[in-house]
Structure 1
Amino acid sequence: MKRTLNKDVLSDNNQSAAFNRETFKKSNTLVINLMSSPGAGKTTLLEKTVKMLSKHYRIAVIEGDLATENDAERIRACGAKAEQINTNGGCHLDARMIAKVLPKFQINDIDILFIENVGNLVCPSGYDLGQQHKVALLSIPEGNDKIPKYPVMFRRTELALLNKVDLLPYIDFNVETAEADLKAINPNSRLVKVSAHTGEGMQEWFNWIKGAYQAWIKH
């Protein structure tokens, strides 16, 4: 019974994800699903990203949280359209939630849509939202054990951002170990070191987004 229930839930989600994906395809909107544990710095990263890339792209953000509109308000203050989804206790966004909020956007006028998922290294990785790319964010203060302890998250993402590298002189974290752990789990992924606070390494992240967008509009 449990396996049947799980199958039904994912089947329903996947149908909604297919609808979302077709919507994004028709509008030529690149969609990036950004996932991490709470406090890793997703919103700060997106604030910096919006400020830099909105000069070249029309950007919007869907914010996922258990409660409050705090993160959406931060993104709006940067000049981007943002909609908040409150899961009221749910540990992840699903494709149906995304489908319900899409009518609040003028999707044909959006080049890049970021989805900031609920802070959690387990549940979000299992749900297709209709995105083109999944990106995982890890931060230096979380320690070196997160990649091997949560392999499904990092196995299902093609890029891992290592945030808060400005704290490396003060925290016991081994970047080489993190890179090796990621390669062991997902040889096709890569680790990009950034600091959303100082701007260190952010240009590589921006370049990745630009490359993903160029590849997408040629599909």
Structure 2
Amino acid sequence: MCTVCGCGTSPIEDYKHEAGSHSDSHGGGLDHDHHHHHGHDDHAHDHRHRDGAHDHHHAEEGSVQRRNGIAGVHVPGMSEERIIQVEKEILSKNDAYAAENRRYFVSHDIFALNFVSSPGSGKTSLLVRAIKELRGRMTISVIEGDQQTSNDTARVRKTGARAIQINTGKGCHLDAHMVGHAVQDLAPEPGSALFIENVGNLVCPAAFDLGEAHKVVVLSVTEGEDKPLKYPDMFAAADLMILNKADLLPHLDFNVELCITNALRVNPRLQTLIVSARTGEGMGAFYAWLEASTVREATPSKVV
């Protein structure tokens, strides 16, 4: 169980994608030692985590513990002290995997972006359009994260880009362990860009570093100007906010200036772009940001 968000499985140890079985260690520099579990019981379950000495049973019923942790989760049958301890262990292990991913990306000049948002913000449409319009200028591969289906991966592959699906089951976010395995299978080209489309969720993906260069939060103008204040951790963790579906603004009472003001209250360094993935409005500014960031963060040997 992920105690940070209340997922029904431990995302640090569970990995499932369409490619099937694979080796327990990464090639090409990703030295992760992994264990995989592919069977999940939807009801009572006893999880034994191998990343430490903790061994506990998760009951379906019982007293609810309320706390002020990273996501303020409610975990039946666990004390606040125990929840915080396990949460720290999970995040610490994730950070170690993320550091390995980041070293791999840097050594291979792979520019990785972690796209986060609530469901329906238009992330996939944004990525599909970007891949089509940047063809010939940039090589892009994609890791798609969803609880179920490979629908978005199929959409990406129609552009000609290489993509791999991670299905998290009950998990509501990707973690660095999952991404490390997907990178091993996907093998992005050196000097390319890697788009990681996270599971639609504005809470837990904020806490999990995947080794990316930047988190990019996509916010649809249909969601409301107060989202940065309601979900501050996500906007604080991001470096870029993309306000998508700008073509709908004439039909909505969405205050763009107020939304940006709210976001800057949470993160004064947050950059904002206003786009429409459907019409292409503003996408040029995103491409300029992407290309400038790629050059700026390339290793010195690759910068001309």
TM-score after normalising by structure 2: 0.71
In structure 2, what is the equivalent of residue 157 of structure 1? Answer: 238
In structure 1, what is the equivalent of residue 225 of structure 2? Answer: 144
Q: Does residue 180 of the first structure (1) align with residue 261 of the second (2)?
A: yes
In structure 2, what is the equivalent of residue 168 of structure 1? Answer: 249
Judge conservation of contact 1:60–1:110 (CA < 8 Å) in 2.
no
Q: 1:10 aligns with which of 91, 94, 99?
A: 91
Distance in 1 separating the partners of 2:187 and 2:295: 21
Q: Does residue 47 of the first structure (1) align with residue 128 of the second (2)?
A: yes
Q: What is the identity, as a one-letter code, of the residue corresponding to 1:166?
A: D
Distance in 1 separating the partners of 2:119 and 2:189: 31
In structure 1, what is the equivalent of residue 144 of structure 2? Answer: 63
Structure holding more helix per residue:
1
Q: What is the identity, as a one-letter code, of the residue corresponding to 2:231?
A: Y
Judge conservation of contact 2:141–2:188 (CA < 8 Å) in 1.
no
**1:126-165 CA distance string (max 9 Å, x none):** 0000001111000011111211111111011111000001
Aligned 1:3-152 pairs, distance under 5 A: 3-109=84-190, 111-152=192-233
RMSD of the alignment, in Å? 1.0
Judge conservation of contact 2:97–2:180 (CA < 8 Å) in 1.
yes
Q: Select the structure of larger CA radius of gyration.
A: 2
Higher relative contact order (CA 8 A, sep 6+): 1
Q: What is the identity, as a one-letter code, of the residue corresponding to 2:142?
A: V
1:203, distance to aligned residue in structure 2 (A): 0.4
Higher mean C-alpha deviation, range 205-214 or range 97-106: 97-106
1:191, distance to aligned residue in structure 2 (A): 1.6
Judge conservation of contact 2:146–2:168 (CA < 8 Å) in 1.
yes
1:110, distance to aligned residue in structure 2 (A): 5.4
Q: 1:207 aligns with which of 255, 270, 288?
A: 288
Paired residues, number: 219
Higher mean C-alpha deviation, range 20-29 or range 97-106: 97-106
Task: Look up the SS of the partner of 1:107 in the other structure.
Answer: coil
Distance in 2 separating the partners of 1:45 and 1:121: 17
Q: What is the identity, as a one-letter code, of the residue corresponding to 2:286?
A: W
Higher mean C-alpha deviation, range 51-60 or range 199-208: 51-60
1:100, distance to aligned residue in structure 2 (A): 1.2
Task: Look up the SS of the partner of 1:141 in the other structure.
Answer: coil
Distance in 1 separating the partners of 2:294 and 2:263: 24
Unaligned runs of 5+ residues in structure 2 are 1-81
Distance in 1 separating the partners of 2:285 and 2:100: 31
Change beyond 3 A, Cα 1:67–1:82: same
TM-score after normalising by structure 1: 0.97
Task: Look up the SS of the partner of 2:199 in the other structure.
Answer: coil
Distance in 2 separating the partners of 1:66 and 1:110: 30
Unaligned runs of 5+ residues in structure 1 are none
Distance in 2 separating the partners of 1:27 and 1:107: 9
Task: Look up the SS of the partner of 2:297 in the other structure.
Answer: helix
Which 4+ residue blocks in structure 1 deviate beyond 6 angstroms? none
Judge conservation of contact 1:182–1:191 (CA < 8 Å) in 2.
no
1:69, distance to aligned residue in structure 2 (A): 0.6
**1:93-140 CA distance string (max 9 Å, x none):** 000000111121233445100000000000101000000111100001
Q: What is the identity, as a one-letter code, of the residue corresponding to 2:171?
A: G
In structure 2, what is the equivalent of residue 194 of structure 1? Answer: 275
**1:25-71 CA distance string (max 9 Å, x none):** 11100000000000000000000110111211111000000000100
Distance in 2 separating the partners of 1:218 and 1:12: 27
1:183, distance to aligned residue in structure 2 (A): 1.3
